[in-house]
Amino acid sequence: MSNDEIFGALRAMIEPFIRKSLVVSRAAAIYHDLGIGGDDAGELLDAIHDRLGTDFRDLHFDRYFPNEGEVFSEHILKLLGFRKKAKWRRLTVGHLIDVIQKGAWFEPPAPL
C-alpha cells in the first residue's frame, strides 16, 4: 500500500471514534488532538491489526493512552475548566502510518 492509501484506510478507521468537527491529519495526535483514549484506543489498534496486520506487541499502551477511568476523569476536569498537561506521549497519525508500513510497532523519534 502507498502512504496515501494507508492514510485513507487509517482515517476511515479513526473517524468513527471522533467528533465530526475534528480533522484527521498526519500531524494530529491520536489522544491529545483527536481524543481517542482508553478502550477506544485499544479498539482502534485492534482494528489496525485486524485489517492491516500491524503488530503492536512492543507498544507500551499506557505511555501513549490513558485507561478508561483516566479518560473519564480528564474529561470531567476539562468540563470544570481545569487543564493540566497530559502525561501521555504524543502518538501522531503520521507515526502510525510509518508503523503500518513497517508492519510492527517502533517508538517515534524523541521530540526536539
pLDDT tens sequence for the chain (112 residues)? 899 999 999 999 999 999 999 999 999 999 989 999 999 999 999 999 999 999 999 999 999 998 877 665 665 656 566 666 668 899 999 999 999 999 999 999 877 6
Q: Is residue 43 part of a domain?
A: yes
Query: Residue 78 falls within a domain, yes or no?
Result: yes
pLDDT (0 to 100) of residue 110: 78
Q: Which three cell numbers stand for residue 7?
A: 492514510
Q: How many domains does the chain have?
A: 1
Does residue 82 lie within any of the structural domains?
Answer: yes
Note the pTM of the prediction, 2 decimals: 0.84
In angstroms, the Cα distances linking 59 to 27, 33, 52, 99 are 20, 20, 16, 11
Evaluate whether residue 110 is within a structural domain.
no
Report yes or no on 107 lying in a domain.
Answer: no
Task: Tell me if 112 is assigned to some domain.
Answer: no
Q: Does a structural domain hold residue 97?
A: yes
Domain boundaries, position 64: 3-102
Where helices occur in 15-92 by DSSP H, the ranges are: 38-52, 61-64, 68-79
